[in-house]
Amino acid sequence: MIGLLAPAAPTELQQQVSALGLPLWNTPPATASYMLQWIDDHLELAPLHDKGAVWVDFVGGALAHRRKFGGGRGQPVAKAVGIKGGYLPRILDCNAGQGRDAFVLATLGCRVTLLERSPVAFLLLQDGLRRAQEDAEIAPIAARMQLNLADARRWLENPPQDAVFDVVYLDPMFPEPDKRAKSKKEMAAFQTLIGGDVDADALLAPARKLALKRVIVKRPRHAPWLAMEKPNFVFEGESTRFDGYLPA
Nearest in space to 47 (alpha carbons), one of 195, 194, 190, 196: 190
* Relative orientation angle of helices 61-69 and 100-107, to the nearest 10 degrees: 40
Tens-place pLDDT, residues 183-232: 566 666 677 666 667 889 999 999 999 999 999 999 999 999 999 999 99
Residue 1: pLDDT band (50, 70, 90) is confident
Round the average pLDDT of the chain to a whole number and report it. 91
Measure the CA–CA gap between 206 and 68, rounded to whole angstroms: 35
The DSSP symbol for 87 reads B
Residue 111: pLDDT band (50, 70, 90) is very high
Q: Which of 49-53, 85-89, 193-197, 231-235 has the lowest mean pLDDT?
A: 193-197
Which residues are registered as beta bridge partners of 46?
35
Tens-place pLDDT, residues 228-241: 999 999 999 888 99
The DSSP symbol for 31 reads T
| Sequence-distant (≥ 6) Cβ neighbours of residue 115 within 8 angstroms | 92, 93, 94, 95, 96, 148, 150, 151, 152, 155
Judged against a pLDDT cut of 80, whether residue 48 lies above it is answered with: yes
Q: Which domains does the chain have, with CATH numbers?
A: 4-47 (no CATH), 61-245 (3.40.50.150)
Tens-place pLDDT, residues 151-168: 999 999 999 999 999 999
Are the CB atoms for 212 and 166 separated by under 8 Å?
yes
Name the pTM for this structure.
0.92
Higher pLDDT, 100 or 50: 100
